[in-house]
Structure 1
Amino acid sequence: MHRARAATMVPMTTTAAPATTPVVGFDQVSKSYGNVRAVDGLTLDLHPGETVALLGPNGAGKSTTLDLLLGLKHPDTGAVRVFGAGPREAIVGGRVGAMLQSGGLMDEVTVGELVKLACDLHPKPYKVSDVLARAGISQIADRKVNKLSGGQEQRVRFALATAGANDLIVLDEPTTGMDVSARQAFWATMREQADQGRTVLFATHYLEEADAIADRVLVLHRGRLLADGTAAEIKAKAGARRIAFDLEGPIDEAPLRALPFLTSIDVSGHTVRIQSSDADATVHALYGLGLYPRNLEVAGLGLEQAFVAITAAEEAKSQ
């Protein structure tokens, strides 16, 4: 799924940013709320055509980072540039589309009326019918906004974010409330956008989406950038592998917990799941205990396990 690309749904044109100019640039950006440092010296660049996942535990600074990018908040120190200028200039110029969690939709208007308003206000609008089709909401165009389900509301927000020819699309938890088929259709459209040179930045708690969709993954923790790379590179950074096996009879956990290079262990019924920083040494020691593991599996960490391992290691450093 990671590199599968959807067929073009609606023809679109765009002018990508010059290759020498980052789409987004954060230069030593910090933002505090009282004694809480939400963003702490953040430096990064985003480039044309990238699909970038922004990950982090609650309170990591993801929403504040997106607010700074969109000019909704201003940094205490450092600079944020969007297409080489301030965020407001890029937004007024119609180069940025955003789909945020905060902010309600207008009630007592139809979906079609709301999307038409967004198209009318955009400097480089698309046809209303195309925007509705791309978001998968043509069939509910005549429905009042206050009669929508949560997933339908999310698709309307997506339509508003893509009402015109934006070069950067910013999405905050975009698929919350969507069912599986709607999520798949949504990401097919996002892959199409990236194929046409647009940059897509999304924050999500669905790590399987980040693993499958993103070309690049950013991991934030307490406002700092802990990791920046492909999903495979983030997994490798965690430096651990998964070991799973079954044991017959009652399981004595004490010797298992004493295995070398163990970073975590979970025993459920007859199944043991381990994370190890040296899987070969751990498995060798396991057989040295005189045990006979059945259905032994050794594999790399998934993105979710790697994310947990990286953030847990950072937490341990700060204690």
Structure 2
Amino acid sequence: MTTTEADTGAVVGFDQVTKAYGDVRAVDGLTLRLHPGETVALLGPNGAGKSTTLDLLLGLKQPDSGSVQVFGTSPREAIVAGRVGAMLQSGGLMDEVTVAELVKLAAALHPRPYEVSDVLARAGITQIADRKVNKLSGGQAQRVRFALATAGANDLIVLDEPTTGMDVSARQAFWATMREQAVQGRAVLFATHYLEEADAIADRVLVLHRGRLLADGTAAEIKAKAGARRVSFDLQGPIDEASLRALPFLTSITVSANGSGNTVRIQSTDADATVHAVYGLGVYPRNLEVAGLGLEQAFVAITEAEEAKQS
């Protein structure tokens, strides 16, 4: 890749990267940049290419075409230099050692290690430092993986489904630590199925679909890109559901019974026109609410629209 002047400060650079498995393109012409201090969420349905993208970033796989650079070098060179820490979704941990012994080993292998006691404290595992790794719960094992990924002063932290198995308090503590890392100028890239985490944590959201980048922006920009808003209201008594489904600008509608009638939930690309048409039906909606889509609804709308284009 030719590094342009605008790219010299990039932590990660993908240029027209393609990776295929047989006839399936897991990554299809992907171009993106990550910058210092960014916390970036990588979203996509199963099979979108998230794991392959992370594998390419970490040098675990090589692209079929295009190029990947990390801090202006190959991924492998950046990792050997101790600039990248990774926490993968799964992967074996050494069983017959204690948590402290494993973290000590990770720190000893890092070119710029932290004190082991600080690593344990940051990951919230000081109290289980003397426990054998094979005696850990799923959430505890995830926190140990996090400790291994942050045992030294990395400039890029890559996380694949990092909070799987963690309880609410552990997840909150984890993300507080990640925010501290970003404030210190480190780039944080994480793939997650918890879209509420992406909405709350990420400065930037990347949406992958069939290996292509569909959307790149803040969570608010991604929501706006979906081009729809949520409308909900209650109707008392019997309703003409066919007339509701014929309302203009609908992208989806659900009708569910409540104690005194029905609750109607709609997604509309023109909420004002849809609400006006509701009153035109001669009904009186109660508890009317109009709001923007949440990130999860926006994500679904964007990917479903892409599926419709490709079908």
Fold agreement, TM-score > 0.5:
yes
For 1:164-313, list aligned pairs within 5 A: 164-269=152-257, 270-313=262-305
| 1:25 counterpart (3, 13, 24) | 13
Q: Per-residue deviation at 1:250?
A: 2.6
1:149 equivalent to 2:173? Answer no
- What one-letter code is carried by the residue in structure 1 that aligns with 2:179? R
Matched-pair identity in %: 88
For 1:55-97, what per-residue CA distance to the aligned partner results, in whole angstroms no more than 9, with x for missing partners?
0000000000000000000000000000000000000000000
**Secondary structure in structure 2 of the residue aligned to 1:103:** coil
Q: Is the 8 A contact 1:29 1:40 kept in 2?
A: yes
Between the two proteins, the alignment pairs up a number of residues equal to 302
Q: Is the 8 A contact 1:19 1:48 kept in 2?
A: no
1:115 equivalent to 2:107? Answer no
For structure 2, the residue ranges without an aligned partner over 5 or more in a row are: 1-5
For 1:159-187, what per-residue CA distance to the aligned partner results, in whole angstroms no more than 9, with x for missing partners?
00000000000000000000000000000
- Taking only aligned residues, the RMSD between alpha carbons, in angstroms, comes to 1.0
Equivalent residue number for residue 41 of structure 1: 29
For 1:167-218, what per-residue CA distance to the aligned partner results, in whole angstroms no more than 9, with x for missing partners?
0000000000000000000000000000000000000000000000000000
Q: Distance in 1 between matches of 2:91 and 2:143?
A: 15
Equivalent residue number for residue 13 of structure 1: none
Q: Is the 8 A contact 1:62 1:203 kept in 2?
A: yes
Q: Distance in 2 between matches of 1:285 and 1:27?
A: 47
Q: Per-residue deviation at 1:267?
A: 1.1
* Runs of 4+ off more than 6 Å: none
**Secondary structure in structure 1 of the residue aligned to 2:177:** helix
Equivalent residue number for residue 64 of structure 1: 52
Change beyond 3 A, Cα 1:251–1:104: farther
Equivalent residue number for residue 158 of structure 1: 146
Q: Distance in 2 between matches of 1:250 and 1:112?
A: 65
1:137 equivalent to 2:129? Answer no
For structure 1, the residue ranges without an aligned partner over 5 or more in a row are: 1-17
Q: Is the 8 A contact 1:242 1:276 kept in 2?
A: yes
- What one-letter code is carried by the residue in structure 1 that aligns with 2:181? Q
- What one-letter code is carried by the residue in structure 1 that aligns with 2:44? G
**Secondary structure in structure 1 of the residue aligned to 2:289:** strand
Q: Is the 8 A contact 2:10 2:34 kept in 1?
A: yes
Q: Is the 8 A contact 1:23 1:46 kept in 2?
A: yes
